[in-house]
Amino acid sequence: MSTWDAGLYKDQHSFVFQYGSDLLSWLQPVEGERILDAGCGTGELVAEIASSGASVKGIDQSASMIRSAKAHYPGLDFETADIANFELNERFDAIFSNATLHWVREKEKAAAQLFKHLKPGGRLVLEMGGKNNVAGITQALEKAMAKYGHQYKPFWYFPSVAEYTTVLENAGFRVNRVHYFDRETTLKDSDNGIIRWLEMFGSHFFVNMAADERTAILEETQRLMEPTHHRNGKWIADYKRLRVSAVKASASL
């Protein structure tokens, strides 16, 4: 994963957890349940789930995100952990994950860990980037990197419905609801929205790159996108989301 800037995330990219609030309508937490937020970020959705009366634990691989979550929500339970490898000494009534699993390239290991940490009959509710998510950004970035002598290497995991439901079914889940949909997202910075987005979410593309080249590639990427992704003075990210609800059948142990 990238090294996360928790402050920049909360300031410029709060739409990530704000959109996640809608996903809670699929989770429908109940008072007294024990719920895990896998990839909790800065903790906003942990707090929202907890307001239902459920007991919630949030995990995230980013120590910066977890520090921010603990600072803003000191009464809640947070821990730094990797979704593909975490081990907790408890099992949950439900697991919730928003905008995280497309960062986890060890997808089969992650699905197995999520399955393992559910009680029999427990449910998994997730949303992630789906097939062709932010394709406008990645295609422009690939062209800009090539112009400056660098090769673009895909990083995120944006699966189709068939791909990801198969991953979950192979892990033992019964998938019972799926929604794949467009979600065009207006970026907060009206001047340099694409540049700021890549600085937040795409820093891994620029590791060991000279600062001037990095700046040139960022500016070229944004320039290439202007005809199609800049409207009415606002930058638009072409999000495509995959939302899934699944259950660990009661017969599974």
Residue 123, beta-bridge partner list:
94, 247
* Alpha carbon 210 to chain centroid, angstroms: 28
pLDDT tens digit string along 109-142?
999 999 999 999 999 999 999 999 999 999 999 9
Output the pLDDT for position 253: 43
Output the pLDDT for position 9: 43
**Overall average pLDDT of the 235-243 stretch:** 96
Which one-letter amino acid corresponds to residue 54?
Answer: A
Output the pLDDT for position 6: 45
* Residue found under tokens 């009415």: 232
Output the pLDDT for position 98: 94
pLDDT tens digit string along 63-72?
999 999 999 9
Model confidence band, residue 20 (pLDDT cutoffs 50, 70, 90): low
Tell me which H or E stretch contains 208: none
**Overall average pLDDT of the 203-209 stretch:** 94
CA distance 99 to 104: 11
CA distance 115 to 86: 12
Q: What is the pTM of this model?
A: 0.89
Evaluate whether 122 touches 99 at the Cβ level (below 8 Å).
no
Model confidence band, residue 251 (pLDDT cutoffs 50, 70, 90): low
Output the pLDDT for position 250: 73
Output the pLDDT for position 21: 72
**Overall average pLDDT of the 2-13 stretch:** 46
Which of the two residues, 13 and 35, has the higher pLDDT score? Answer: 35
Model confidence band, residue 150 (pLDDT cutoffs 50, 70, 90): very high
Cβ neighbours, 10 Å, residue 167: 19
CA distance 98 to 202: 18
Contacts of 141 by beta carbon, 8 Å cutoff, 6+ apart: 152, 198, 202, 205, 217, 221
Q: How far is CA 215 from CA 139, 154, 193, 210, in A?
A: 17, 20, 14, 9
Output the average pLDDT for the chain.
Answer: 92
**Overall average pLDDT of the 179-197 stretch:** 94
Percent with pLDDT over 70 in the chain: 91
Which of the two residues, 167 and 9, has the higher pLDDT score? Answer: 167
Three-state DSSP class for residue 230? strand
pLDDT tens digit string along 69-100?
999 999 999 999 999 999 999 999 999 999 99
DSSP state of 89: S
Model confidence band, residue 181 (pLDDT cutoffs 50, 70, 90): very high
**Overall average pLDDT of the 25-51 stretch:** 95
Evaluate whether 90 touches 77 at the Cβ level (below 8 Å).
no
Domains of the chain: 6-133+156-186+237-247 (3.40.50.150)
